[in-house]
Each structure stands twice: as structure tokens, then as C-alpha cells.
């Protein structure tokens, strides 16, 4: 195409793919496959996501010269591929230059790299700490002339901040803005992204394509949901959420600029489906990307282990989950039946390993040391730690990853046993409060989400949902013996954790001051446990781990 004769139609493919951090060769192969697919559908250009060749976020891998060199070699090879007269490519990669190490894109066409652009606004909040490993681009570079069309390419945070990147691109002649992103999921994030893009479209007057990464990476889940907003602020196209895909969109030049005339218009899932699918994708990718063949969990007959079992079967298939019931003298007949019914409904392997002998053995071994003391939490925790030891033994023997099952309410207040039920490799419900676990369980009983490998129908027995939750570590125990009702507890925790509200503000919502003070105290003193907990899927705006970094040694208390 003669660059002196600007085209009136541009077909842009958005590659919403699932890279693996550090798998440079694998990510390059995936990019090549996507470009070939886009070429078959007549695309002129393929837009990949942020740092695609490296995988996002690469964290301190970026500090390794060998890793940077591998990424650069890969994008040079990919650029050479474009000599075939097929689609040009925009692909994200780290680049080491005289001005520093940058979060960049390489723009290639005609067998060579025609431009590089570096991220100007580096995020340094929540789950992002890019200033640790990258240097900001030294300037806001202008648009790139691609076959006669001037394309502006801000990178992710460049459209979220206030540096005026999009306005500068518009002022320097950009006709269309293409944005590669690595934007992780949290509840309601799709709407947040669209509002950010609409604001930039209004300020720049240009349509914007927002390409987002897909897939689980440790605690983060990238949900895709790539989209575009037209110059009139309307939704131009919407790609699916939680699904890997390459979509070719058609853009036509009009008297008022560029407009999308053809593209997908997928429906975005409602909140329960979105949360469930995020947990499912996060678990699936953590297990598969780290090379585990299967997983094992303790199935207690309670709601948390039941939903984790459902998630494991949905994510991996029934043949890859082994559920183990480990009863003790306080395990109720209901729990035994509920656990068996759950395993049967899911179709997974189910074993029963009684723990009477090992727990009594520990108790006997400690008789002399504990002489003259009363039984209490220590003896209760022996049960949990015995179960944790059994699960880890199965893990070591068969190479299965242990799935931990504690919810955010429990992890917030320390209602979990270190080296017991906290043993494991990954926790799919770590960022779900207890009432959200109930909501997702009820939802899953009515719906099989897209991509799920599990069965339809009631997979979490109704008795598990209806009965009072209990750790069953002593006779007639329920969680509410030592905690407020979960609707109350969850509201207080959301105020403290997500919203950083003061005690007076929380009391004004109708909660007793004494209860708020107690929950705040439990939250702080459980920090040491959370530091040793397995990673888990981020669902809320502030998860324990990357988003919330409180000191373990901490004497502050809000005396309001």
C-alpha cells in the first residue's frame, strides 16, 4: 500500500491472549500463531498487549540482562516475519536503552522495526510497582505513520494518569489511539476502564482501542474484555471476558475521522459469574502454568471446601481433583454425608482418612509437657495441623498441589491455623468474603459458566449452604461462637480493609464500637499469618498481598 495514499479502511486485529511470564519462546510462538490467524482474516495490523513477549507483570525478571536480551531477540525475529507483506504488529516488550530499561512496544512492518514507544506514566500503587524496575519514557513520543495512517500508542497507565499523553498525541497528528494493556481484574473493573477511556476520548477527540491481556499470573487475573470507544463516546466493539481470542475489527475513515464498522459485541458477565470465572481462571492457570498434573484438597463438608472443589473441577476436570475427608470425633454425620454428596455430584475422587490415631498420638506425646494445663485452642489446632500434614504428604507422594480453602473473612481475623488448614499452594477464594462465598455457591448451583469442565445441576449440596458454618474442632462449635454473624463481620471488614475507614465511621453505620475495636485488633494481629498464606486470586480492589502491605509488628489502634 502506498503510504502517500492514505487508506480509507483499516482492519485491526486485537490479540487478547494468555502469555506466560518468562516463557519468551512460547510467547513468541503464540504471537506468530495469532498473526497468522489475523492474516487469514485480512487484517492489516495486529495489536498485542502490554509486555506480551515477557508476560505481565515480569517483576524483577526485568533486572536480569539475559532476560532483556531474550525479549529483544524475540521481537526482532517477530519483526522480520512482517517481511511477508502480511499484517504489521504492535507488541509489548521490555527494552534496555541508553535512557534506561523501559516498558515499551515495538511497531514492526515490512520486515523491520519502524518505531519504538516507551511507557511514560509508570504506576506505583496497589498491585503495581513498575518504578522499581522500569524508567519512564524520556518524552511523550508522537504518532507512528503506519501505511499512511497516523497511530498514537499510549501504553496502559499512560491513559489512566494526568500527564496528557493522549492530548499530546492528538495535537501531534494522531488519527486513532491503540492502547496495549495489562489491566488485572477486580469486581466492576470493566466499567472503570470504560470510563477512563471515555474521558480520554472526550479530551483528545480520537477513538481508542483498548487491548487487554488475558490469564492468571500468580495472584492476578487478567480478564481480557478488550473494547473500543468511538469518537462519539459510544462503545464501538466489546470482546469477551475471560476468553482467549483474536478479533479482527474494521475501521473506516469518515469525514469526521475513523469509526469502527465491524467488530464483536460480546456480553460482559454479571458480578457473580465474573467473580467465579476469575477464580476459575486464576486456579487453572496457576496449576497449569506451574506444571502440576492434579490437585488435592481437604473436603470437610463445609461451604469453603465445597466451592473450592467445584472450582477445581470446573477449572481442571474431575479427574484432576482428589478430595479427602479427614474426620475426627467432632466431625458430624451431616458433614460426612455432605462431603460425600459434594464429591459424588462433582464426580471427583473421594477418600476418607480418619485422624483419630495421629491426633491422639500427638496428644499422648505432649502429655508430660502439657501436664497441669487445660485443653483449649492448642488441642483444637492439633486436629487442623494433622489434616495439613496428611494433605502435604499426599502432595509430596503424588505431586499434587494442595488447594487451600480459607475465605477472606477468616484470613482477615486469623480464623485459620498456621501449618494446618493454611497449608497449600494456591487458594482460589482467598479474596472472597464469606457471604460472597455463599452467593457464588448458590449461583454455581444454577449455572455452568462458559469454559467450565464440571457438571450441571446442584454441585454444592443445599445442606452445606443452609447449615451454620463450623470448624468442628470441639463439640457443638459454630463460627459465631467467637465471631459476629458473617454479614456483620464482612461489612466491618470491608470498611476496614477495602475502604480504610475509621472506627467512628464504622460505628456510624450501626455497628457496636466494642465489636469494631475487636475486629480491628484481630485484623492487625493476624498479619503474620497472612504473610505465610498461599497466594490466591485477587477479586476485590484491595487483596491481602500485593495491595495491602501492613507491618507485622504494629501497635497502632484507632481509638475512635
Which are the catalytic amino acids?
50, 119, 156
Report helix, strand or coil for 227.
strand
Sign of CA dihedral 378, 380, 381, 385: positive
DSSP 536: B
Report helix, strand or coil for 282.
helix
Residue whose C-alpha is closest to residue 405's, from 425, 390, 435: 425
> Residue 239 is placed in which grid cell?
470482546
Which secondary-structure segment (H or E) carries 32? Answer: helix 24-40
Q: Taking the mean position of all CA atoms in its chain, how far away is CA 262?
A: 30
Yes or no: say if 233 and 194 are a contact pair by the CB < 8 Å rule: no
How far apart are alpha carbons 534 and 541 in whole angstroms? Answer: 19
Residues with Cβ within 8 Å of residue 187, at least 6 apart in sequence: 271, 274, 275, 539, 540, 541
How far apart are alpha carbons 440 and 537 in whole angstroms? Answer: 15
Report helix, strand or coil for 279.
helix
How far apart are alpha carbons 19 and 58 in whole angstroms? Answer: 11
Report helix, strand or coil for 545.
coil
Cα dihedral 14/17/23/29 (nearest 10): -60
| Cβ burial 232-245 (10 Å sphere, 16+ → b, else e) | eeeebbbbbbbbbb
- Report in angstroms the alpha-carbon separations of 422 from 189, 435, 479, 533: 29, 20, 17, 6
> Residue 275 is placed in which grid cell?
467473580
Cβ neighbourhood burial of 19 (10 Å; 0-12, 13-18, 19+) = buried
CB atoms within 10 A of CB 14: 32
Cα dihedral 438/439/441/443 (nearest 10): 160
Q: Could you tell me whether strands 149-152 and 112-118 are parallel, antiparallel, or unpaired per DSSP bridges?
A: unpaired
How far apart are alpha carbons 78 and 111 in whole angstroms? Answer: 9
- How many contiguous H segments (helices) and E segments (strands) does the chain have? 16, 19
Amino acid at each position: 500500500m502506498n503510504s502517500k495514499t492514505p487508506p480509507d479502511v483499516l482492519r485491526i486485529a486485537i490479540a487478547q491472549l494468555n502469555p506466560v511470564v518468562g516463557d519468551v519462546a512460547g510467547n513468541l510462538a503464540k504471537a506468530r500463531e495469532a498473526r497468522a490467524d489475523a492474516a487469514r482474516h485480512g487484517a492489516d495490523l495486529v495489536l498485542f498487549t502490554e509486555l506480551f513477549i515477557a508476560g505481565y507483570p515480569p517483576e524483577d525478571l526485568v533486572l536480569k540482562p539475559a532476560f532483556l536480551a531474550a525479549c529483544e531477540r524475540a521481537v526482532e525475529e517477530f519483526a522480520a516475519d512482517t517481511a511477508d507483506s502480511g499484517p504489521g504488529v504492535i507488541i509489548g516488550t521490555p527494552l534496555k536503552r541508553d535512557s534506561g530499561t523501559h516498558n515499551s512496544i515495538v511497531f514492526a512492518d515490512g520486515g523491520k522495526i519502524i518505531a519504538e514507544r516507551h511507557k511514560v506514566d509508570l504506576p506505583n500503587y496497589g498491585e503495581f510497582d513498575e518504578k522499581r524496575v522500569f524508567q519512564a519514557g524520556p518524552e511523550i513520543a508522537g504518532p507512528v505513520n503506519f501505511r499512511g495512517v497516523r497511530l498514537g500508542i499510549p501504553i496502559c497507565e499512560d491513559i489512566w494518569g494526568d500527564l496528557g499523553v493522549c492530548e499530546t498525541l492528538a495535537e501531534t497528528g494522531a488519527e486513532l489511539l491503540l492502547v496495549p494493556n495489562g489491566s488485572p481484574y477486580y469486581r466492576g473493573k470493566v466499567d472503570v476502564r470504560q470510563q477512563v477511556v471515555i474521558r480520554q476520548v472526550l479530551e483528545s477527540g480520537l477513538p481508542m482501542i483498548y487491548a487487554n491481556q488475558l490469564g492468571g499470573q500468580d495472584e492476578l487475573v487478567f480478564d481480557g474484555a478488550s473494547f473500543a470507544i468511538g469518537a462519539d463516546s459510544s462503545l464501538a466493539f466489546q470482546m469477551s471476558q475471560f476468553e482467549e481470542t483474536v478479533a479482527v475489527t474494521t475501521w473506516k475513515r469518515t469525514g469526521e475521522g475513523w469509526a469502527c464498522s465491524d467488530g464483536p459485541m460480546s456480553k460482559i458477565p454479571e458480578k457473580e459469574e465474573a467473580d467465579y470465572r476469575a477464580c476459575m481462571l486464576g486456579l487453572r492457570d496457576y496449576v497449569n502454568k506451574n506444571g502440576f498434573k492434579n490437585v488435592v484438597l481437604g473436603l470437610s463438608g463445609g461451604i469453603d471446601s465445597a466451592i473450592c472443589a467445584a472450582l477445581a473441577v470446573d477449572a481442571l476436570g474431575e479427574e484432576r481433583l482428589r478430595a479427602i475427608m479427614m474426620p475426627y470425633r467432632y466431625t458430624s454425620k451431616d458433614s460426612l454425608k455432605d462431603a460425600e454428596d459434594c464429591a459424588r455430584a462433582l464426580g471427583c475422587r473421594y477418600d476418607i482418612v480418619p485422624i483419630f490415631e495421629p491426633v491422639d498420638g500427638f496428644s499422648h506425646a505432649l502429655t508430660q509437657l502439657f501436664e497441669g494445663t487445660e485443653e483449649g485452642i492448642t488441642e483444637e489446632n492439633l486436629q487442623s495441623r494433622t489434616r495439613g500434614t496428611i494433605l502435604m504428604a499426599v502432595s509430596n507422594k503424588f505431586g499434587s498441589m494442595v488447594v487451600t480453602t480459607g475465605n477472606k473473612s477468616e484470613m482477615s481475623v486469623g480464623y485459620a491455623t498456621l501449618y494446618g488448614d493454611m497449608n497449600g499452594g494456591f487458594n482460589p477464594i482467598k479474596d472472597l468474603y464469606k457471604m460472597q462465598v455463599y452467593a457464588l455457591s448458590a449461583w454455581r448451583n444454577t449455572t455452568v459458566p462458559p469454559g467450565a469442565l464440571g457438571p450441571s445441576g446442584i454441585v454444592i449440596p443445599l445442606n452445606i449452604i443452609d447449615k451454620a458454618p463450623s470448624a468442628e474442632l470441639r463439640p457443638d462449635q459454630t463460627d459465631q461462637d467467637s465471631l459476629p454473624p458473617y454479614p456483620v463481620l464482612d461489612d466491618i471488614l470491608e470498611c476496614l480493609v477495602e475502604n480504610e475507614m475509621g472506627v467512628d465511621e464504622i460505628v456510624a453505620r450501626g455497628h457496636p464500637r466494642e465489636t469494631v475495636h475487636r475486629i480491628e485488633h484481630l485484623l492487625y494481629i493476624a498479619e503474620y499469618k497472612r504473610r505465610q498464606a498461599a497466594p490466591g486470586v485477587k477479586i476485590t480492589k484491595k487483596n491481602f498481598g500485593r495491595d495491602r502491605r501492613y507491618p507485622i509488628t504494629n501497635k497502632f489502634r484507632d481509638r475512635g
